[in-house]
Chains A and B, each alone.
Chain A
Amino acid sequence: MTDDRLLSVQGVGKHYGARWACRDVSFDLWPGEVLAIVGESGSGKSTLLNLLSLRTPMDEGAVHYALRADGNTPGGLHNLATLSEARQRLLARTDWGFVEQNPRDGLRMAVSAGANVAERLMVLGQEHYGRLRCQALDWMQRVELDGHRIDERPTQFSGGMQQRLQIARNLVTRPRLVFMDEPTSGLDVSVQARLLDLLRSLTENLGLACIVVTHDLAVARLLAQRMLVMKDGSVVEAGLTDRVLDDPQHPYTQLLVSSVLTP
């Protein structure tokens, strides 16, 4: 049987001094699947996201990813630690996306919306201004931004629009895996709802696999098929989102679920 997994995480962990921020986390991810990592602040969920996306080196464990086959690389799962820094950076800019909690961290605030969206394409060698601009326009429209604002700087956009711009910037290379760190946390409730709708339709239509870190169970419910619950650096419960939220087994999960205020 062929191995269809997109991502395989085995026993990853990171410590700061004597304290393990995150320990012994393992899971698999399949193409098009959305996984939520849920926990309070301090649970280790953001550390985990940084380990998986290679932003922080891990102290133990391994992450395998199914690279696209090309002239140099056969397809199938590769241990990311064996890739050169150049290859890792290329991966991060093409087949992966990373949506930051604060859009200002994921955008170039001093250049136009169009340049922000088209940058990855330019890095990959596209040299036709007209076509770059066309594609930037196309993706702005897909994230429901007004194309007339293509030359404005992100500083002139609202928080919700900046977040949409950040998403477009990441999706322009059609990545297969997108990491999201609290993608809606900084936004107004009504803006959050519309953004979540957008994320849901994008992930479905584009077949994106996502790993979404959130403290908000509603986000997990809406976006993710599966979820992990983290506490003090460890995964305390994992499973299908509906099952975990409707029938939590671990006392901590039960506590989390019961403390959510229903609107």
Chain B
Amino acid sequence: MYVSVKGGEAAIENSWRLLAQARRGDPAQPELGLDTIAQQLRLAVHRVMTEGSLYDTELAALAIKQASGDVFEAVFLLRAYRTTLPRFGYALPLDTGAMHIRRRISAAFKDLPGGQVLGPTPDYTQRLLDFALAAGGEPPAPLPPAPAVAAHMPRVLELLNLEGLIEAERPANLGADASSQPTEPTDLTREPLAFPATRAARLQSLARADEGWLLALGYSTQRGYANNHPFAGEIRMGDVVVEMVPEELGFAIDIGDISVTECQMINQFSGSREVPPQFTQGYGLAFGECERKAMSMALVDRALRARELGEPPVAPAQDEEFVLSHGDSLESSGFVQHLKLPHYVDFQSELELVRRLRQAHRAEGGAA
């Protein structure tokens, strides 16, 4: 005998319990500590902070633990938490030129003032599974003291700028019309994105976007879908000071350090009657050591500047609405997975229509 659907509450509570059990796994295994995650899974933590738009290694570690390692779910947890946080104000723009450098490379020049500082990168390893890691064991031997990193590391782009070879930086919060006055940058966590978008809004959107999405789009620009001939002008990673001006004080104070990765891509531009040929740039910025993200972001940023640089938008990576509307993993994951929700009422409507049309089809004697 059919009984109306019931027990929704009990089912939900049981699913929570099953989830908690699955999350913990075999109780004989030591439980993961947040410090362990933050230390030994630091790149996952950095990605979650970047896409979660929240710099807090401990919270990101907790999100990763709660999500059982699912990055999308962890990003969601962090963003939802962020919504509840009180807002004190806005930081001043980060001075990445004054970064306390831990890694800094340029593919555009063999050597440059300050040198090529490799830092902790897997770039020069061979990707062979290291079974010694499986066994655990001794921590690596401490390093000898490093030579001091040069105090002043000029940006590659500043060097190019001395010759006028690269476009002058313009405030990113100008509208699509280059002659308009700069305005307050929008805050995408407070206002919805509108099209056409300012570069400032685009960059914000890209900074929070899913890395996989940007990676694929950036890759497409290298394969001929809007070719920009990119060069990695400079990639730098390290700690920067965060400053803000509290209303009561009226001057800037240092509220802490965060580590970021910044990428400036150099691309070619063919010039026009009015403007001689010069390099153009794409910009990427991410928390922690998210280098692949910063690079992909810079490629996509450059592709999306097609409109303001007078290039005809022909490729998906140049389609602003397409790129930005589908980059947020909360939106994409939520909507794709919402298909799991009951849709039986609408399905019922479709069933009814299809049956009726089939009936009509039969009545007309089948295929006409």
Contacts and interface: CB of A to CB of B under 8 A. Distances in A.
Is there any pair of Cβ atoms, one from A and one from B, under 8 angstroms apart in the complex? yes
Interface of A: 17-19
B274 interface: yes
Interface of A is mostly: loop
A156 B273 CA distance: 45
Contacts of B274: 17-18
B272 interface: yes
Interface string B266-280: 000000111000000
A17 B310 CA distance: 11
Contacts of B272: 17
Contacts of A19: 273
Classify chain B's interface size: under 10
Interface in B232-278: 272-274
A18 B272 CA distance: 10
A79 to B, nearest CB: 24
6 contacts: A17-B272, A17-B273, A17-B274, A18-B273, A18-B274, A19-B273
B293 to A, nearest CB: 37
Nearest to A17: B273
B201 to A, nearest CB: 24
B80 to A, nearest CB: 41
Nearest to B310: A17
Nearest to B273: A17
Nearest to B274: A17
Nearest to A18: B273
A141 to B, nearest CB: 23
A21 B59 CA distance: 60
A112 B223 CA distance: 37
A17 B274 CA distance: 7
B226 to A, nearest CB: 22
A121 B156 CA distance: 61
Nearest to A19: B273
Nearest to B275: A17
A42 B31 CA distance: 74
A19 B272 CA distance: 11
Interface string B26-59: 0000000000000000000000000000000000
A245 to B, nearest CB: 36
Contacts of A18: 273-274
Contacts of B273: 17-19
A17 B273 CA distance: 7
A183 B274 CA distance: 36
A253 to B, nearest CB: 30
A175 B2 CA distance: 64
A130 to B, nearest CB: 19
A150 to B, nearest CB: 15
B367 to A, nearest CB: 16
